[in-house]
């Protein structure tokens, strides 16, 4: 199972929110490159980079951070937050991201996203599904749709998506453990998907459970920053 550490960016700094709430912000490091290098030095190969300013503004903002990390590490970076136009997609790829992360747009503007999948290749996109009670949530989790998670995944698998991460928004940033049963059900229905668990990971035990459930990857953020998971311990999962 691939461990994919997360770096969330506000004002160019490495932060974490609790349940997507910008008022519950904690700054962990003013230099995201330092954090990324620590991850790389620990043997991690991927990075989940989230532009929280971009997500709020609806346009990519922190591409300079992406550019710096991509230039100065060998990490395979997926970058998301505020990708709403083809110009945003081009900025993200030109700044060094291997994958563009798309969430709400895939729900709200399917035709545009499908155009991008055809133009750039579905392998250049990481699809993000925020879920509340098995329904897709959008708009910084404030809005739950009537779109079911399984229908959502099936549609985009047909369009060629191979990598997807799923966040149970009731769990994220709370260090209460991940939604293992939900993930098992998704993996059972879509065995060929490179499925990445996200949200709620609080301990190595959680990661072992996700690995046993068949997850191909797990995004880990707060648990690393709060010292609940040591980077050295992650080698056992690689």
CATH of the domain at 225: 3.20.20.70
DSSP code for 234: G
Annotated catalytic residue 168: no
Distance of CA 118 to the CA centre of its chain: 22
Looking up tokens 């993200």, which residue turns up?
Answer: 92
Of the candidates 136, 164, 201, 150, the one whose C-alpha atom is nearest the C-alpha of residue 78 is: 164
Annotated catalytic residue 130: yes
Alpha-carbon torsion angle 206, 211, 212, 213, nearest 10: 90
pLDDT of res. 223:
93
Tens of each residue's pLDDT in the chain, 238 residues: 999 999 999 999 999 887 778 888 899 999 999 999 999 999 999 999 999 999 999 999 999 999 999 999 999 999 999 999 999 999 999 999 999 999 999 999 999 999 999 999 999 999 999 998 899 988 665 678 999 999 999 999 999 999 999 998 877 667 788 999 999 999 999 999 999 999 889 999 999 999 999 999 999 999 999 999 999 999 888 8
Instruction: Kindly name the residue from 130, 168, 172, 206 that is annotated as catalytic.
Output: 130
How much is the pTM? Answer: 0.94
pLDDT of res. 186:
97
Backbone angles phi, psi at 77, to 5 degrees: -105, 130
**Token pair for 196:** 């990445």
Alpha-carbon torsion angle 67, 72, 77, 79, nearest 10: -20
**Token pair for 231:** 């980077």
pLDDT of res. 142:
66
**Token pair for 68:** 């710096």
Domain coverage including residue 112: 2-237
**Token pair for 211:** 């690995």
The domain tally of the chain equals: 1
pLDDT of res. 10:
96
Instruction: Kindly name the residue from 8, 51, 168, 172 that is annotated as catalytic.
Output: 8
Of the candidates 42, 84, 24, 28, the one whose C-alpha atom is nearest the C-alpha of residue 60 is: 84
**Token pair for 49:** 């980079």
Counting every residue, how long is the chain?
238
Query: For the chain, where are the E strands, in sequence order?
Result: 2-10, 13-18, 21-29, 46-51, 76-80, 99-102, 125-132, 135-138, 143-148, 163-168, 194-198, 217-220
**Which residues have CB under 8 Å from 23's CB, separation 6+?**
none
Strand 143-148 relative to strand 135-138, pairing: antiparallel
Alpha-carbon torsion angle 176, 181, 183, 186, nearest 10: -160
pLDDT of res. 174:
75
pLDDT of res. 77:
98
């Amino acid at each position: 199972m691939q461990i994919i550490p997360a770096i969330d960016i506000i004002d160019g700094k490495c932060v974490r929110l609790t349940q997507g709430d910008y008022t519950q912000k904690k700054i962990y490091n003013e230099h995201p490159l330092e954090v990324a290098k620590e991850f790389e030095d620990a043997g991690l190969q991927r990075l989940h980079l989230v532009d929280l300013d971009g997500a709020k503004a609806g346009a990519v903002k922190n591409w300079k951070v992406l550019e710096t990390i991509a230039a100065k590490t060998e990490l395979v970076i997926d970058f998301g937050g505020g990708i709403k136009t083809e110009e945003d997609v081009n900025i993200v790829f030109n700044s060094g991201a291997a994958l563009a992360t798309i969430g709400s747009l895939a729900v709200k503007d399917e035709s545009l996203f499908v155009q991008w999948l055809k133009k750039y290749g579905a392998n250049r996109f990481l699809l993000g599904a925020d879920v509340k009670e098995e329904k897709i949530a959008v708009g910084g989790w404030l809005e739950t749709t009537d779109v079911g998670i399984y229908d959502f995944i099936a549609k985009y698998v047909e369009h060629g998506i191979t990598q997807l991460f799923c966040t149970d928004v009731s769990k994220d940033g709370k260090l209460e453990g991940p939604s293992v049963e939900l993930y098992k059900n998704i993996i059972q229905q879509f065995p060929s998907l490179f499925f990445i668990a996200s949200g709620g990971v609080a301990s190595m035990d959680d990661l072992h459970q996700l690995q046993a459930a068949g997850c191909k990857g797990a995004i880990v953020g707060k648990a690393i920053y709060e010292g609940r998971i040591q980077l050295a311990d992650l080698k056992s999962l690689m």
